[in-house]
Structure 1
Amino acid sequence: VADFLWGGAAAANQFEGAYNVDGKGLSVQDVTPKGGFGQITDGPTPDNLKLEGIDFYHRYKDDVKLFAEMGFKVFRTSIAWSRIF
């Protein structure tokens, strides 16, 4: 199936990391503790794994090379609003 677009997808709050780099503001995801559905804290908590994610923010060049090695033809991503505003 030569025309099949094999690829992957990721959401900024799950993989981006760098929650406090380059002027990014805090998002709801940054202040929700692990397992704390409906709970919001005043700031990030050490148990919040999304603060670093897979650190795509710093490692994107290597990650994109890996996508190519896997034969990905497409990659869908998102950008956190707190990164822009």
Structure 2
Amino acid sequence: MADHGKTTAKLPKEFVWGYATASYQIEGSSDQGGRGPSIWDTFSKIPGKISDGSNGDVATDSYRLWKEDVALLKSYGVKAYRFSLSWSRIIPQGGKNDKINQEGLDHYRSLLEELIKEGIVPFVTLYHWDLPQELHDRYGGWLNKEEIVEDFVNYAKVRSRRH
């Protein structure tokens, strides 16, 4: 067969293949472990917004089944896993002066440690459109640049510290 000048692009050998999820889509346990409500909890319960009426209250129950999820990833030969954190699970009300939920921090630390132990490189997304509902109610969330930037910086700092 003739080449016709076409080349086949190849990914570099160091390219890391993996899977990705978002906290609201898989965690469930929306009222467990000290998690506060997010804007998705509220939105998904407005009649007619989700055609089949589903929501993330249970999802795939990954908050409770995270060890089994990591084992499943390993069984698939996954080398990397990108997942998002639930801001509402770490700081339930979301604000810079609001209470930190140690149970939420512990959950994500355990997940990270298990992934690393199993040879899966974690890639963490701090925010995947899962704003604490309280910040939306308090000052309009992302519509208030001054407040939200301070609250997000605090959230990022809380998550980056070792607890």
Q: Smaller-chain TM-score range? A: 0.7 to 0.9
Tell me which residue corresponds to 2:70. 64
Letter in 1 for 2:49: G
* Number of residue pairs matched by the alignment: 76
Report if aligned partners of 1:30, 1:48 keep a CA contact under 8 Å in 2. Answer: no
Give the whole-Å Cα distance in 1 for the aligned partners of 2:28 and 2:37: 12
Give the whole-Å Cα distance in 1 for the aligned partners of 2:56 and 2:27: 8
Letter in 1 for 2:36: G
Q: Which has the larger radius of gyration?
A: 2
CA-based RMSD of the aligned residues comes to 2.0
Any gaps of 5 or more consecutive residues in structure 1? 38-46
Give the whole-Å Cα distance in 2 for the aligned partners of 1:48 and 1:18: 14
Q: TM-score, normalised by structure 2?
A: 0.42
Tell me which residue corresponds to 2:121. none
What is the CA distance between 1:6 and its match in structure 2? 2.2
Structure with the bigger RCO (C-alpha within 8 Å, sep 6+) is 1
Displaced runs of 4 or more, over 3 A: 1-4
* CA spacing shift, 1:7–1:18, aligned 2, 3 Å: same
Q: TM-score, normalised by structure 1?
A: 0.77
Q: Give aligned-pair identity as a percent.
A: 36
Q: Which has the higher helix share?
A: 2
Letter in 2 for 1:84: I
